[in-house]
Amino acid sequence: MHDNEIQPFVGTAVRITMADGRILAGTLHAHGDQGHGHVHYAVVSDPIAKGGEPVVEMIHGSDQITDIVDASDDPAAVE
C-alpha cells in the first residue's frame, strides 16, 4: 500500500493484513520518516495480561501493509 491510502486510518481502530500474512488489530499510529525514507506506523493493542503494557507492533514503511480496514466496531481492536 501507499502512505496516502493508510493516512486516513491514523488514529483509528484498524485491522491490518501484513505482507507476511499476519493480521494485526488495534489503533494505528504514524511517525514521520525521520530521514529513513519511509513512515513508521505502529499498531497498539490492549495488553495481553490484565494490568500489563499495551502491545505495540512497529511497521517500517507502507509496503509492509497489504490491506487495511476500519475496525472501530470491533472492541478487540480499540485501544
pLDDT tens-place string over residues 2-26:
999 999 999 999 999 999 999 999 9
Residue 55 burial by Cβ neighbours in a 10 Å radius (0-12, 13-18, 19+): middle
Is residue 54 within 8 A of residue 36, CB to CB? The reply is: no
Torsion of CA 56, 57, 62, 63, to 10 degrees: 180
- pLDDT of amino acid 14: 97
Distance CA 14, CA 27 (A): 6
pLDDT band at 68 (very low <50, low <70, confident <90, very high): very high
Provide the whole-model pTM. 0.87
Q: pLDDT at residue 32 above 90?
A: no
CATH topology of domain 3-70: SH3 type barrels. (2.30.30)
Q: Please, what sign has the CA dihedral across residues 41, 44, 48, 52?
A: positive
- pLDDT of amino acid 11: 95
